[in-house]
Each structure stands twice: as structure tokens, then as C-alpha cells.
Amino acid sequence: MKAVCHTHGCFLESIGGVEDHVHMLVKLSTRISTSDLVRALKSNSSKMMKSAEGGCRDFAWQTGYGVFSVDSSIEDKVRKYIYGQKEHHKLQTFKDEYLWLLQRDGIEYDERYLWNDN
């Protein structure tokens, strides 16, 4: 994923996740849209997962994704959050946290379209 970001002029600051999602702190380039970068990240990582020795041939990303911009003054806090995913999600599920973020930021949503399992 770092190489994909680099190819598109972006810088991957931090990456971490758990079984059902990944968080990335990326400094975006003006050379690529957010949606095109996410598409490239998903495509390349899916190919790698399916073709790697001992890889997961049925690996697939969910259809959607979420992107939140952060102020540079809280980058260290975001990095700590990303690296602490395993511990963090012992206290709060990804779904509950994602809904909280959407509500906190006043983003309208229809939960029927948020999850692959609905």
C-alpha cells in the first residue's frame, strides 16, 4: 500500500487495522482524487492477497469506504489511534465507532448502504 501511495504522489504516514478494516493516515497528492487512490489501493492489495504464497484467494474488500480529513495538529493522536486498533476495538466495535463518527460530523447516511452484510 505504501508503494501504491508513492506511485500516485501520496505519502502513507501510518497504517493499521484488524480483521475487518484498515485505517490509513495518508498525505494526499493533488495528482489523484481520493476515490481513485482508494480504488488503486483496493485493487492492488486484492491482487497481492490473492496471488501471494499462502494467500487468500477469496479475499475481497467491501464495496464502500470512508474518508475523514484531519488537521495536521492532531496527526500524532491519529497515528496512536491507528496503531492501537486491536486494543481499541475490544471496547468499541468498528460499526459502532463508524456510526458515531458519522453522527458526530453531521454526515447523513442510510445504514442499509453502509455494510455488506445488510
- Which H/E stretch holds residue 117? none
Tell me the HSE value of 37 on the side-chain side, using a 13 A CA sphere: 25
Q: Where are the domains of the chain?
A: 2-113
Using pLDDT thresholds of 50, 70 and 90, give the confidence band for residue 117.
low
- Which H/E stretch holds residue 25? strand 21-27
Across 57-72, average pLDDT: 85
pLDDT tens-place string over residues 4-29: 999 999 999 999 988 888 999 999 99
* Amino acid sitting at position 81: Y
The correct CATH number of 2-113 out of 1.10.3470, 1.10.10, 1.10.8, 3.30.70 is 3.30.70
Tell me the HSE value of 45 on the side-chain side, using a 13 A CA sphere: 16
Q: Among the ranges 7-16, 47-56, 63-72, 106-115, which has the highest mean pLDDT value? A: 7-16
